[in-house]
């Protein structure tokens, strides 16, 4: 059920157009996220032990989540408010192409400022959004455990111009503190970086990627077990329509193949 009205969705979309992101406070069930957190902990440990993560910097791991069990949760990836805002900024009938986590650990460092995707057309920065990340943490995010830092409004700027403005000190970085349950929707073209986690506890941040209906990102995918696909709602099936289907959950990869992140 929607938490927000159409007018409020419109307001979020306007804020998104200006800033390149919006945060929905206390949107997802903390109870559900505590379960994700408990399920993620052994997955993180196993992937690190097997060196089966994409390393995104010192002590910083990107891990695709298996699309099964509690991670294949329509209350999360089909959330009607999130999708209403996604559709307002990136067009109707989007596709879902990514379900993963970014986790800085103690000893992580500042990332270089980057974007997660190149411009759609060379030399044409001023295009509407085509690739969004929906982020939500599996813990509270504080100044101590590595908050995401981002510029505002650079999603609609030429990358070189944005970088030069940043280097001239004209574009401040905003540190996004979040509580468990908060959800951020962002355009991945905004200049941003990960920051150090100075605590003993990992700081997992889930990322769900939604693209414009016709946009294909070969560098990411979600392997969807066929029986799980069959059990989804019409909306869930439609979002995952371009994702490969695998015979069963045992066939889900336990290695990481997403390696090129920064543009
Ligand atoms: O996890 C974060 O805070 C940001 C990570 C990030 O931007 C990246 O790895 O590309």
Question: 100-120: per-residue pLDDT in tens?
Answer: 999 999 999 999 999 999 999
Ligand 1 pocket, 115 CB below 6 A?
Answer: no
pLDDT for 261 beyond 90: no
Which domains are seen in the chain, by residue range?
6-251 (2.60.120.620)
Query: What pLDDT does 125 receive?
Result: 78
Taking the C-alpha atoms of residue 19 and residue 179, their distance in angstroms, rounded to an integer, is 20
Mean pLDDT within 75-85: 98
pLDDT for 253 beyond 70: no
More confident position, 248 or 201? 201
Tens-digit pLDDT profile for residues 37-55: 999 999 999 999 999 999 9
> Cβ distance 261 to 188 under 8 Å?
no
More confident position, 141 or 123? 141
Ligand 1 pocket, 102 CB below 6 A?
Answer: yes
Ligand 1 pocket, 149 CB below 6 A?
Answer: no
**In angstroms, what CA-CA distances link 224 with 21, 237, 243, 253?**
28, 10, 7, 11
More confident position, 254 or 132? 132
Tens-digit pLDDT profile for residues 238-247: 999 999 999 8
Confidence of residue 21 (pLDDT cuts 50, 70, 90): very high
Ligand 1 pocket, 204 CB below 6 A?
Answer: no
Average per-residue pLDDT in the chain?
95
User: For ligand 1, atom 5, which residue shows the shortest CA distance?
Assistant: 194
Query: What pLDDT does 263 receive?
Result: 67
Nearest CA to 113 out of 186, 64, 57, 185 is that of 57
Q: How far is the CA of 231 from the centre of ligand 1 (A)?
A: 32
Q: How far is the CA of 148 from the centre of ligand 1 (A)?
A: 7
Taking the C-alpha atoms of residue 159 and residue 114, their distance in angstroms, rounded to an integer, is 9
Atom of ligand 1 nearest to the CA of 203: 1
Ligand 1 pocket, 203 CB below 6 A?
Answer: no
Q: pTM (2 decimals)?
A: 0.96
């Amino acid at each position: 059920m929607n938490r927000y009205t159409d007018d409020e969705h419109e307001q979020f979309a306007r804020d998104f157009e200006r800033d390149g992101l919006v945060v929905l406070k206390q949107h997802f069930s903390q109870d559900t996220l505590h379960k994700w957190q408990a399920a993620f902990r052994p997955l993180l440990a196993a992937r690190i032990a097997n060196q089966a993560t994409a390393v995104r910097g010192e002590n910083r791991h990107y891990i695709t989540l298996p699309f099964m069990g509690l991670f294949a949760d329509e209350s999360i990836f089909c959330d009607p408010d999130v999708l209403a805002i996604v559709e307002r900024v990136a067009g109707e009938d989007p596709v879902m192409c990514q379900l993963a986590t970014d986790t800085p650990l103690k000893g992580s460092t500042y990332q270089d400022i980057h974007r997660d995707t190149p411009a759609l057309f060379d030399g044409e920065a001023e295009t509407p959004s085509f690739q969004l990340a929906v982020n939500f943490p599996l813990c509270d995010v504080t100044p101590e455990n590595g908050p995401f830092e981002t510029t505002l409004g650079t999603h609609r700027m030429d990358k070189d111009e944005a970088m030069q403005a940043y280097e001239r000190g004209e574009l401040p970085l905003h540190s996004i503190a979040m509580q468990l349950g908060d959800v951020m929707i962002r355009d991945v073209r905004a200049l941003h970086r990960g920051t150090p986690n100075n605590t003993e506890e990992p700081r997992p941040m889930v990322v769900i990627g939604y693209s414009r209906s016709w946009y294909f990102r070969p560098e990411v995918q979600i392997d969807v077990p066929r029986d799980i696909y069959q059990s989804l709602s019409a909306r869930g099936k439609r979002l995952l329509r371009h994702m490969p289907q695998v015979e069963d959950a045992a066939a889900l990869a336990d290695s990481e193949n997403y390696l090129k992140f920064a543009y």
